[in-house]
Amino acid sequence: MNKKAIIVGASSGIGREVALLLLAEGWHLGLAARRMEPLLELKALAPERVEVMTIDVTQPDAGDLLLTLIQRMDGIQLYFHASGIGHQNRMLEADIELRTMDTNAVGFTRMIGTAYRYFAERGEGHIAAITSIAGTKGLGPAPAYSATKAMQATYLQALEQQAHQRGLHIRFTDIRPGFVDTALLRGDFRYPMLMQPQAVARDIVHSLHHHHHIRIIDFRYRLLTFFWRLIPNWIWRRMKI
């Protein structure tokens, strides 16, 4: 049986790099994002194995479009969610917070929920999503971003428990990178321990093949988040980040 996956958020960054790796492995892919041109560039690499569609996860019809893409592919085994936005927002500008919530919380729930219901009808499947180590603790410089990333991790955990209780063979992979050199982090601020998207994508594909439940990418971030969890709230609230 041909291996088939849909990647939402495939136009750039980690989603694009994962798409390139899966194409090299012979997968048939459905690629979706808000911008069509980058998707067509990927399709040109293997026209017979790639379907493309413009999907904006913040729009109410995004779930229906995902099901249409699944139908065009005659079914899938993997749904990979790489769509998301993130900004530092130290002044708590309202539009930044609300756009982040709309994409990372509402849009995430819309797409993951659609994929889950599709796989529930089939009785099996694999859902993977890029969350972040930012969901480990509430980060003052990026309130909505860290809050939505915590929500995403909890949502995946809840669905994994529900699937098990329902006897559904749906696997979940929660991918938690640290700072990755993508357009999401472009700006004047210099981020520490910056990782390259190609290396992150290789780790992700390895994690998908080995059915990891939670994958914090890079041992430095695994150590960092381990110690973050040990910090009491009365100390955390006083820390400068």
Q: Which structure tokens are listed for 150?
A: 């915590």
Q: In CATH, which of 1.10.490.20, 2.30.130.10, 3.40.50.300, 3.40.50.720 is domain 4-236?
A: 3.40.50.720
Nearest to 134 by CA among 166, 177, 92: 177
Q: pLDDT tens digit string along 55-101?
A: 999 999 999 999 999 999 999 999 999 999 988 899 999 999 999 99
Confidence of residue 241 (pLDDT cuts 50, 70, 90): confident
For the sheet containing 78-81, what is the strand order?
50-54, 28-33, 4-8, 78-81, 124-130, 169-176, 214-216
Give residue limits of the domains in the chain: 4-236
d(CA 175, CA 131): 6
Query: What's the whole-model pTM score?
Result: 0.94
Question: Does residue 191 have an active-site annotation?
Answer: no
Q: Which structure tokens are listed for 46?
A: 């293997």
Q: pLDDT tens digit string along 162-180?
A: 999 999 999 999 999 987 7
d(CA 131, CA 155): 11
Quick one: pLDDT at residue 86?
87
Q: Which residues pair with 128 in a beta bridge?
A: 80, 173
Quick one: pLDDT at residue 145?
93
Quick one: pLDDT at residue 190?
54
Owner of token pair 């708590």:
92
Query: Dihedral (C-alpha) 47, 14, 136, 124: value to the nearest 10 degrees?
Result: 20
Which of 79, 116, 118, 145 is catalytic? The answer is: 145
Q: Which residues contact 135 (CB under 8 A, 6 or more apart)?
A: 146, 147, 148, 149, 150, 151, 152, 153, 176
